[in-house]
Structure 1
Amino acid sequence: MSTSRTIAIAGGRLHYEVRGSGPLLVLTGSPMEGALFVPLADLLADERTVVTHDPRGIGHSVLDDPAQDSTPDLRADDLAALLDALGAETADVFGSSGGAVSALALAARHPGRVRTLVAHEPPLIELLPDAAGQRATVDDMTETFRREGVEAAWRKFMSYAGFDSDDAGPPPAASPERARADGARFFGHEMRGTARYVPDVAAVTAGAARVVVGVGAGSGALVTYRTSVALAERLGTPPVEFPGDHAGFLGQTKEFADALRRVLAGGL
């Protein structure tokens, strides 16, 4: 059973859900809406208080100015505001994809608020040796969206990311209308800022009690596998393998939940 709530954030309102009881765990994505984490949250809620949310401008989290860009720093501040609303000094945080970038920014900007930070496949292209080319590709996808629309941009994105052509589509959403709206938000106001974020490794490691980089067992062909390995190298710690690929928590939810439990308990 879950409880839905909203809180005020800078320039808007954030929708979130709380389920379970026990030590606090925040699941965060970007641009994924919180509903995609519900199957994972339900499995973890037997021993954790699990919080899911729609990131700013996505799903039910609305902005006063829909044209405002979403940056990792803004999303980090939203997460800190969420902890404040829950009356929590600290939490474990699992971030996937752009949500992993948000979680890294949270640890850097709000030191001491994160216990264990699990950054699952953050798309940090600036850490790659071919960052200039990666940056140009991301810019091209943004321009494709502006010229040709969301569907064309998603096709380029999925090919660039390394997914099979059969998977060339947007992430699941509550409705086709929601998928288009969230896709437009992603390409128009979010992707570029997320991809270009460069984490302050010293601040991240000082701000979180423990940092774990996660990679999917089936993600070897993906750009996010390379960026995750690059981040782990900077942190001086080996990446930890999780079941499935970039969205393993959707395709192999039980196995993924078991792996996340082990990591949060300190086992790798």
Structure 2
Amino acid sequence: MKNDTLRVPDATLYYELRGSGPLLALIGSPMGTRFLAPLADLLAADHTVLTTDPRGIGASVLDDPESDSSAEQRADDLARLLEHVDAGPAAVFGTSGGAVNALALVQRHPGLVHTVVAHEPPISEVLEDREERRAAIEDIIATYEAGDVPGAWKKFLVNAGSPPPPPGQGEGAPPPDPQQVADERYWFRHEMRGTTRYRPDVDALRASGARIVIGLGEDSAGQLLDRTSHAVAALLGGKPVPFPGGHIAFVVDPAGFAPRLREVLRDA
């Protein structure tokens, strides 16, 4: 594995490269390299795999730590990384906020990408109840800003329609490391709003020439990301393709997730 940094406007991006073969970027947001590393290791058997920490997260440092992060900025960061690696055009797997970044990337820099798999994009702006969803996000952020971190997470899970953790889960666990706390803080304060309020330009996506697949976890039925994934896929004239597990199945079971991603990339 090679790890390095790239200077971009207002930030220094950390990235990792593994393997050899066609270029495949694995993109999360706010999840970065450490969450995607196990999946990247598996896919590096037949791909050159690029992973990165999004700006303001992990080892990707902002000149101004209090500046906000938009999907467009993160897409431009990815474009600069892909141009720097110079092994494209690339296939891109983006998950959660990374799926939003991937859609923004192909919209803004279509020549760099031939295939996008956008796994569970949290784009609530495409929903009919978008104003309610905006208000929920603002309440989550305000709760975090007031210092009630557990309350912010509880509201986040309620908004997402995710099952709450079992009573007592996490009790006695060691405190989070400082980087985890810093990443959480940046996500709540500076990234969540810009991610969920992104709205794709469907005409631009169709005109890009890239193959675009919306992925949805089989265990995510009935959750908010089930709704957003179906809505984005419908705007593009299709339906989501199934992936095993839930929203973070690529972390929980990378060995079970990798074959399905290979299949989707091959068949897209």
Range moving further from structure 2, 79-88 or 62-71 = 79-88
Structure 2 residue matching 1:218: 3-state secondary structure:
helix
Letter in 2 for 1:206: A
TM-score for both structures, normalised by structure 1: 0.94
Is 2:193 the partner of 1:192? Answer: yes
State which drifts further: 247-256 or 257-266.
247-256
Equivalent-residue separation in structure 2 for 1:263 and 1:64 (angstroms):
38
Work out whether 1:239 is the aligned partner of 2:240: yes
State the match for 2:64 in structure 1.
65
Query: 1:160 maps to what in 2?
Result: 159
In the TM superposition, what are the counterparts of 1:43-58 in structure 2 within 5 Å?
43-58=42-57
C-alpha displacement of 1:159? 2.2
Residue 132 of structure 1 is matched in structure 2 by 131
Taking the TM superposition and a 5 Å limit, the aligned residue runs for 1:91-130 are: 91-130=90-129
- For the aligned residue pairs, the C-alpha RMSD in angstroms reads 1.8
CA–CA distance in 1 between the matches of 2:138 and 2:162?
19
1:201-240 alignment, distance < 5 Å? 201-240=202-241
1:254 and 1:42 map into 2 onto residues whose CA distance is: 10
Partner amino acid, structure 1, of 2:52: H
In structure 1, distance between residues paired with 2:65 and 2:253: 34
- Aligned residue identity for 1:133: E
- Counterpart position of 1:7: 6
Amino acid at match of 2:115: T
Aligned partner of residue 220 in structure 2, secondary structure: coil
Contact 1:107 1:208 in 2 (8 A): no
Cα separation, partners in 2 of 1:108 and 1:34, compared to 1, 3 Å: same
**Separation of aligned partners in 1, 2:76 and 2:166:** 33
- Asked if 1 retains the 8 angstrom alpha-carbon contact of 2:110 and 2:210, the reply is no
Contact 1:20–1:47, Cα closer than 8 Å, also in 2: yes
Say which SS state the counterpart of residue 51 (structure 2) adopts: strand
Q: Which residue pairs with 1:75 in the alignment?
A: 74
Q: Does the CA contact (< 8 Å) of 2:22 and 2:88 recur in 1?
A: no
Offset of residue 145 of structure 1 = 1.0
CA contact (8 A) 1:150 1:180 kept: no
Letter in 2 for 1:104: L
**More displaced 10-residue stretch of structure 1: 143-152 or 212-221:** 143-152
Distance change >3 Å, CA 241–CA 10, structure 1 → 2: same
User: How far apart are the structure 1 equivalents of 2:155 and 2:9?
Assistant: 32
Report the CA distance shift for 1:24/1:245 in structure 2 as closer, same or farther (over 3 A).
Answer: same
Distance 1:167 1:201, change over 3 A: farther
Equivalent residue, structure 2, for 1:150: 149
How far the C-alpha of 1:205 sits from its partner, in A, is: 2.3
- The answer to whether the Cα contact below 8 Å between 2:22 and 2:87 also exists between their aligned partners in 1 is no
Cα distance 1:62–1:150, how it changes in 2: closer, same or farther (>3 A)?
A: farther
* Residue 150 (structure 1) shift: 3.3
CA contact (8 A) 2:106 2:210 kept: no
Residue 260 of structure 1 deviates from its aligned partner by 0.5
Aligned to 1:260: 261
How many equivalent residue pairs? 263
8 A Cα contact 2:5 2:14, kept in partner: yes
Secondary structure at the aligned position of 1:263 is classed as helix
Question: What amino acid maps onto 1:112 in structure 2?
Answer: G
- Structure 1 gaps of 5+ residues are none
1:35 alignment partner AA: R
- 4+ residue stretches of structure 1 with deviation over 4 A? 167-170
Which SS does the other structure have where 1:13 is aligned? strand
Secondary structure at 2:67 match in 1 = coil
Give SS of 2:2's match: strand
Distance in 2 separating the partners of 1:131 and 1:160? 12
- Tell me the percent identity: 49
**Structure 1 residue 167, shift from structure 2 partner:** 6.9
Instruction: List runs of 5+ in structure 2 lacking aligned partners.
Output: none
CA contact (8 A) 2:23 2:88 kept: no
